[in-house]
Structure 1
Amino acid sequence: MAGIRISRACATLALAGAVVGAAAVPAGAAPEAGLRATTQVTTCPTGWGSLPKTAVGTAQASLANVRTGRHACFDRMVVDVPGAGTGTGFTVQYVDRLYQDGSGRHIPVAGGAVLEVRVTAPAYDSETGAPTYPGRVARPLPGVDLTGYRTFRDTRFAGSFEGDTQIGLGVRARLPFRVLRLDDRVIVDVAHSWTATR
């Protein structure tokens, strides 16, 4: 009886080893003949829409940085406003053309559509007037490289006027977007498409 139990235990271990060995296929290895490769589908958030999004600001802080990032379902722009908490106001909307506040100067922005990103934070210290962000009017945002992005095409700094900072964000097409207001930053996400999967 003990011999039968030992034989069964050995058979079970051998079978488990074969299953583990079969599962340990190196990444990038071609599937064996007769097996179909599966495509992973990412479910993306929906319901963002493309209408203007606005929030009233209560904080008095200066813009310090603008950065971007790529995600599976969207491209992201982050506007950093240290010391603002969740009190930075914003207006983000599609516009036909970007015009600089105050001067009315047209600032060309490349892409199939243009998002105007306006935050209630100047790019300078309100007491001293010293710049807090190195952006130059009508030039791409410093330190932002959009190479390889699926949605973002261009960025342009439009300057600060009466406490607001204005940025042009060129995107591939008029796509849905959302705006999040988190501690010390405003986030603009623009979807890669109108569908829920990619």
Structure 2
Amino acid sequence: MTNIRTGRHTCFDRMVLDLNGNPAGYSVKYVSELTGIGSGKEVSTTGGARLEILLKAGASPSYNPGATVKTLNYQTFRQQVWLGSFEGQTKVGMSTRARLPMRVFVPSGPDQGSRLVIDVAHYWY
């Protein structure tokens, strides 16, 4: 994983994890608490729900997430949480306004890379 980006769209908020290749696997699910990947230590967040993204790919040594918790205040996304990279896996969290519908997909490119894309709806439709 080389970068994390977020954005606001008309009907959903989007998180994109940029990858150097294809991930060996991933899991995206709502959880009761967000915990560090190596420590298991809980990270407190605001918002009504917590989304855990576990990527079976390590983070690039050059990737610097900055603060552990980054406040976004989007329509749905509240806070982006860096939970760490350990033994070839990377864990990221997102606090959301509520447990809203989501979709996850992995498009190819650019070049030999790919992206893990997570869209979370603004409302139940």
Structure 1 residue ranges without an equivalent (≥5): 1-62, 125-130
Q: Which residue pairs with 2:111 in the alignment?
A: none
The answer as to whether partners of 1:137 and 1:159 remain within 8 angstroms in 2 is no
The count of corresponding residues between Structure 1 and Structure 2 is: 119
In the TM superposition, what is the alpha-carbon distance from 1:137 to its structure 2 partner? 7.0
The answer as to whether partners of 1:98 and 1:114 remain within 8 angstroms in 2 is yes
- Which one has a larger percent helix, Structure 1 or Structure 2? 1
Give yes or no for the alignment of 1:81 onto 2:6. Answer: no
Give yes or no for the alignment of 1:176 onto 2:93. Answer: no
CA distance in 2, matches of 1:67, 1:137: 14
Answer 1 or 2: higher relative contact order, Cα 8 Å, separation at least 6. Answer: 2
Identity over the aligned pairs, expressed in percent? 46
Q: Which residue pairs with 1:57 in the alignment?
A: none
For the pair shown, the structure with the greater C-alpha radius of gyration is 1
Normalising by structure 2, what TM-score? 0.87
CA distance in 2, matches of 1:102, 1:151: 28
Give yes or no for the alignment of 1:135 onto 2:65. Answer: yes
CA distance in 2, matches of 1:138, 1:105: 13
Matches within 5 A, 1:131-170: 131-136=61-66, 138-140=68-70, 146-147=72-73, 149-170=74-95
Pick aligned residue for 2:55 from 92, 109, 119: 119
The answer as to whether partners of 2:101 and 2:124 remain within 8 angstroms in 1 is yes
Normalising by structure 1, what TM-score? 0.57
Secondary structure at the counterpart of residue 134 of structure 1: coil
The answer as to whether partners of 2:37 and 2:90 remain within 8 angstroms in 1 is no
Give yes or no for the alignment of 1:103 onto 2:39. Answer: yes
CA distance in 1, matches of 2:87, 2:67: 15
Query: After the TM superposition, which segments of 4 or more aligned residues of structure 1 sit over 4 Å from their partners?
Result: none
